Chains A and B, each alone.
Chain A
Amino acid sequence: MLRIKKEFHRSKHYYLLMSPYMIIFFLFTVIPVVLSFGLSFFYFNMLEFPRFVGWQNYARLFLNDDIFMIALKNTLLFAVITGPVSYIACFIFAWIINELSPKVRAFMTLIFYAPSISGNVFFIWLIIFSGDSYGYLNGFLMKAGFILEPIQWLLDEKYILAIVMIVQLWLSLGTSFLAFIAGLQTIDKTLVEAGAVDGIKNRWQELWYITLPSMRPQLMFGAVMQITASFAVADISIALAGFPSVNYAAHTVVTHLMDYGTIRFEMGYASAIATVLFFLMIGSNKLTQRLLRRVGE
């Protein structure tokens, strides 16, 4: 007891320095996760006192909610398509850009990174995919004679999910992309030279045996960023496909959560959705990290 007290006394400055950040972090991140987990076992509509219902919310979610199944299917599609594609794209473009001379490199980095920080200019895509003949894609296809009348891109179940994916990819070269470019620039040059002496013949071998293993920490970090983003698709879906989207074709777990949390006020049920989302995200992150440990072996 006395030792702990002494230990606290010795590091009190550290706790004091960390306290403002940590108080807010716990208040708005850590505690809410715990609350959300607890609340998922209750029926709560913001008006009456919460009523304990046990596993009922989860049972309803997995056994009795067809819309959730659509949302889950779409979200997993995002996770297995846009997640890996954006991750690989981040790396490939960073890898090519790294070979360029400094001025061109800075310019290219800006081109690829700009969409992710351009303040959600989805509206550009709304005009491109607009369903009338003034829409750029329709106008182009009609002029070229591919189609005779405009296609309702954003109101057609066949296209909408693919369109949301394209726009999501366009926006996804963000933090991980920068981390990869920066990581590539810090690779030890002597390693590359030693590799050449040891018989590395071309850039592809260099990539697999030297570049990727040296970048493992950044690859880990980038994976976390891209996976979390691909599971969290919601705003883009709402901006492009509306809320709810046509026949729930672009519905995701997050939009489902919004539906029950901000429209129907079924807070217990929405918390169950949030808890499932939490475990989905953490689980896939952990799984991916395990896979990435095998890079370069």
Chain B
Amino acid sequence: MRNIFRTQKKLNRSLPVNIMLFIILALFGAFMALPLIYAINNAFKPLDEIFIFPPRFFVINPTMDNFYDLVSLMGNSWVPLTRYIANTLLITIIGTVGHILLASAAAYPLAKHRFFGSKILFSIVVLSLMFSAHVTAIPNYMVMSWLGWINTHASIIIPSLAFPLGLFLMKQFMEQIPDALIEAAKIDGATEYRIFWSIIMPNVKPAWLTLMILQFPALWGSDGGSFIYSENLKTLHYALGQIIQGGIARAGVGAAVALLLMIVPITLFIISQSSVMQTMATSGMKD
């Protein structure tokens, strides 16, 4: 039990309370993890195990059938499944990379310089963290149709580039970079763009990954919303919805697709966890 907790002797800590707290954590951890473990199990169940009574949590005879069925379904559908995958990848990759670039470029002046309007701009961004995108859904549709972006991927990608949380976290993180670095570069004759690109950007790598972790799942789980109508522009998430609605015959394939959808963002988080934690430490809001 001791080695689960930090090894050095700490102040004000007693073993019984430690154990109690760890039991609480383990119980809730089980509640959090069970649906995910279940999703993994389901993807490898043959159809008769998915519809067994009484239902079983763990798979007994694991099989790859669901994944094979998925591949054959890919071949026969009106829009090949690869098309949905390509659409999802396009939206998430452009949306995430673009968001990191734009939010960083906007965060640097706000974090390191004072100029006319900088304070008010940042308070508007903080204020926009306090309401959700639903508030703007209706006028957004009008703005989209005015721009002529209805039924294009741009309607999903472009608004996501200016996600306010990304700018907020990036600015908070950039404030830690010592001013002396920027001053030195200025004396050496670097332009502001040069400073941003060669000094600031390499120093905020952890924050890039954090913005990626926040932006990626949001776009990855997008189903095209009210902007995309053409079947050949729709996303994998939308296709999954269609497969699940296929009922009993498609239940196994649905479980396989759900697993694939789930694994990608979680894997990304595992890879970038330590950097994300570093950025989050600076996420605080001043009163």
Contact = CB atoms under 8 A, between A and B. Distances in A.
B131 A170 contact: no
A182 B36 contact: no
B28 interface: yes
B180 interface: no
A164 interface: no
B138 A36 contact: yes
Contacts of A124: 35-36, 38-39, 42, 258
A262 B226 CA distance: 8
B265 interface: yes
Contact of A254 (B105, B134, B280): B134
Interface residues of A, number: 111
A8 B116 CA distance: 7
B87 to A, nearest CB: 15
Nearest to B140: A32
A57 interface: no
Nearest to A174: B214
A125 B31 CA distance: 12
Interface string B114-127: 01101001001101
A267 B106 contact: no
B18 A99 contact: yes
A185 interface: yes
B63 interface: no
A201 B12 contact: yes
Contacts of A143: 54
A257 interface: yes
B164 A261 contact: no
A203 B39 CA distance: 38
Interface residues of B, number: 101
Interface in B1-42: 3-7, 11-14, 17-18, 21-22, 24-25, 28-29, 31-33, 35-36, 38-39, 42
Given A15-B115, A128-B38, 12 more contacts: A13-B191, A14-B109, A14-B118, A21-B103, A32-B136, A33-B131, A101-B5, A118-B217, A121-B261, A220-B287, A258-B137, A278-B135
10 contacts: A18-B110, A25-B164, A28-B140, A104-B4, A113-B269, A114-B269, A136-B55, A205-B12, A274-B135, A278-B131
The 4 closest A-B pairs by CB, nearest first: A217-B284, A182-B280, A21-B106, A14-B109
Interface of B: 3-7, 11-14, 17-18, 21-22, 24-25, 28-29, 31-33, 35-36, 38-39, 42, 51-55, 57, 102-103, 105-106, 108-110, 113, 115-116, 118, 121, 124-125, 127-132, 134-140, 142-143, 158-159, 161-162, 164-165, 167, 191-193, 196, 213-214, 217, 220-221, 226, 237, 244, 254, 258, 261-262, 264-266, 269-270, 273-274, 276-281, 283-287
Interface of A: 4, 7-8, 10-11, 13-15, 17-18, 20-22, 24-25, 27-33, 35-36, 39, 89, 93, 96-97, 99-101, 104, 106, 108-115, 117-121, 123-125, 127-128, 133-136, 139-140, 142-143, 170, 173, 175, 178-179, 181-183, 185-186, 192-193, 196, 200-203, 205-206, 215-218, 220-221, 224-225, 227-229, 231-232, 234, 254, 257-258, 261-262, 267, 270-271, 274-275, 277-278, 281-282, 285-286, 289, 293
